[in-house]
Each structure stands twice: as C-alpha cells, then as structure tokens.
Amino acid sequence: MAKKELDWGEIGFSYIKTDYRYVSNYKDGSWDEGVLTGDDMITITECAGVLQYSQSCFEGLKAYETEDGHIVAFRPDMNGERMVNSCKRLEMPAFPKERFVQAVIETVAANEDWVPPYGSGATLYIRPYMFGSSAVIGVKPAEEYQFRILTTPVGPYFKGGAKPISIRVSDFDRAAPKGTGNVKAGLNYAMSLHPIMIAHREGFAENLYLDAGTRTRVEETGGANFLFVTKDNTVVTPRSDSILPSITRRSLMYVAEHYLGLKTEERPVYFDEVSDFAECGLCGTAAVISPVGMINDHGHEICFPSGMEKMGPVIQKLYDTLTGIQMGRIEAPEGWIQVIK
Ligand SMILES: *Cc1c(COP(=O)(O)O)cnc(C)c1O
C-alpha cells in the first residue's frame, strides 16, 4: 500500500472519491451487519423519505496522521453520540455509538492511502450520514434507513496562515427556539444556502445568526459555534438550546480551562455586548478556529482589537494547543484520540 499521489497542499475542499465507503441498512426494525463497498452510487425509490421530506442527518470529523506516524481520529465517540441525538429528534433509528466508532475505524483503515501525510495540513474528512430510504408519501417517518460513511481528503483550511474573516448579521433565522438547531440535520443547511449566498455576494465569509425568538442574543453561524475572549482573558461561548453542540467548541472550552488555566463561561451572549470583547473566533471541525476580525451589523462595523491581520493571542493559544493535542505533540485528555492504525 502506498499513499495516493495527490498534491496534498492544493486539494482544497471539493469531493474526491476514495476507494471504500461503509454501508449499513435498517430494515424490519434492525440494522444489518454493515459492509465496506467500492460502490459509491446509491439506488433508492423515487419516493424515499429523504427525497420527499428531507429525513436525514449527518456528522463530520477528521482522520489524520500524527507526528509519530499513526492514523487517528479526534473524539469519534462524541460524533456517534451526537448522531444518536439527531436520530431521536428526527424519528430515525439510532445507529449505536459503539458501532459508529467501529465503522469509522474500518472505513478510514480501508482508505488508509488517502490519509494525507503529517505536516501537509491536509486531512481525511469523514462524513457519516443517515437517510430514510423507503417510500413515504403521507407525512411520516420512513420504515427503512441507510447509514453510510464516506471519506474524502481535504486540503489545509488555512493556506499561508489564518487570516481573520469578516461576517455579517443575518436577517434570516437559522433555528427556531424549539426547532432542530441543536441537531445535525441536513434541513438546517438547506435553508441556510440562501443567506450564505447573500453573505458571499456582499463580501462576507459567514452569517451571524441571532436567536429567532428575541433577536437579541448571539447564536452561531451556519456551521460553526462562537468563542469570544473578554478583555481580561475569560473565554465566553453562547448558551442556547438552539445551537448545534460543536465538539470542537466543547474541546476548546476544556483546553481553555484545563490546559491554559483560563476562566470560561457558557452563558447567553447579548449582541449588544459583542463590541466589548477583545477576540472572536468560530469553531468547528473544518478550521478548528477561524478568527473573526469584524462583524457587520447592517452597515455598522464592530471591529475586534485583534484586527484583520492575525488571530488574537488567546485564540492563537487555544488553536495551537488543540491542534497540538490532535497531532500528538501535546498529551491528550483520556479518550480524545482514537488510534486507527
Ligand atoms: C457541525 C456544526 C458545527 C461544528 O461542530 P463540530 O463538532 O465542532 O464540527 C457548528 N455548528 C453547526 C450548525 C454545525 O452543523
């Protein structure tokens, strides 16, 4: 076996088909044993629940090579657990967490040649997902489901250093107060495509969504949670039942407290207080943290003291520590690094 010959630094973020994917089908009330297959095509009825009523959810995580040459994944058990919660909310049958982790391991191991080399900055993105595969015409949950895991190599998120981004306050809402914002459902993304295209047309990287109920509190962006740093170095993240619980954000809050000795707060964050913060970042699997330099609220610019050239000092430390843990340069908390090979 040999690594694929790709220009790892230049592959970017489009889908590249790898050799194997995992498939398990749910029928007559249970999951089959699951297989790895080379077949990337799916054939389902035209009336499948996913096609008619968007009954689907997904996860996202990464595998990568560490400094000492192992292939590992970061906290896949957390993704497995979150997917169980998504399934409950969407009336889908949960794929057991232990099987989820095992399936991730098998899929990555089978695609070992596609795991980018240490130091390239590239990673193997892992996308577990599930959808209603049987026919549904009256509105109800499907009776059959398919769980799959595909992998695709992705390039380094920050080429030539992490430049802060500018974002804007959206006039659209991402999630209703008791809606589906806290689960990783495809439907949350379908409705975000229109606002993200508007943001991009206006020159912004992302949308900041406020809470739909009162439009006074910061929720998150389309695909990443917020971290703020106060002028006295407290790390603050918004608390809300309609935010998707980011594993990266939860890991960073742990790192802030236990590795860096910083004070942390998870609490409602009012939009009014954002201009008092010293630093701002967006957290998610893709970038770990993207620094935010400016937030545009209908023409009014909130500029963070950390500026538009580089990450603020606290966010930089958080980034360096978590990526150090992921890459095996810094000792990880128990259970964070799943060794695959
Ligand atoms: C996936 C996702 C995140 C980031 O979660 P991670 O587990 O850190 O990758 C944040 N917000 C939304 C809406 C998401 O779908």
pLDDT at 160: 67
Cα 83 to middle of ligand 1, angstroms: 12
pTM, entire model: 0.97
How many CB atoms neighbour CB 314 within 10 A?
22
Pocket test for ligand 1, best of 89, 246, 288, 289 (most atoms within 8 A of CB): 246
Strand residue runs (E) in 177-224 = 206-208
For the Cβ of 168 lying below 6 angstroms from any atom of ligand 1, the answer is no
Ligand 1 atom with minimal separation from the 250 CA: 8
Task: To the nearest 10°, report the CA torsion of 84, 90, 91, 93.
Answer: -30
Which residues does the annotation mark as catalytic? 184
Is pLDDT at 1 greater than 70 in this prediction?
Answer: no
Residue 246 CB–ligand 1 contact under 6 Å:
yes
Alpha helices in 111-265 (DSSP H): 186-190, 193-201, 247-258
**Which class in CATH covers the domain with range 165-326?**
alpha beta
Mean pLDDT of the chain: 96
**What is the C-alpha separation between 49 and 93, in angstroms, rounded?**
13
Q: How far is the CA of 245 from the centre of ligand 1 (A)?
A: 7
What is the whole-number distance in angstroms between the Cα of residue 28 and the centre of ligand 1? Answer: 32
Looking at the predicted structure, is the pLDDT value of residue 48 above 80?
Answer: yes
Asked if the domains at 21-154 and 165-326 fall in one CATH topology, the answer is no
Q: Is 158 helix (H, G, I), strand (E, B) or coil?
A: coil
- Span between the terminal Cα atoms of the chain, in Å: 13
Ligand 1, atom 14: nearest CA belongs to which residue? 223
* Domain 21-154 annotated CATH 3.30.9.90: no
244 lines ligand 1 (CB under 6 A): yes
Nearest CA to ligand 1 atom 1: 223
**Which residues lie below 8 Å from residue 177, measured CB to CB, with a gap of 6+?**
211, 212, 213, 241, 242
157: confidence class by pLDDT, cuts 50, 70, 90: confident
Tokens of 110: 């089978």
Does any ligand 1 atom lie closer than 6 A to the CB of residue 223? yes
> Tell me: the pLDDT tens digits for 66-117?
989 999 999 999 999 999 999 999 999 999 999 999 999 999 999 999 999 9
CA of 221 from ligand 1 middle (Å) equals: 9
d(CA 325, CA 334): 11
Where are the chain's structural domains?
A: 21-154, 165-326
**Ligand 1 pocket, 174 CB below 6 A?**
no
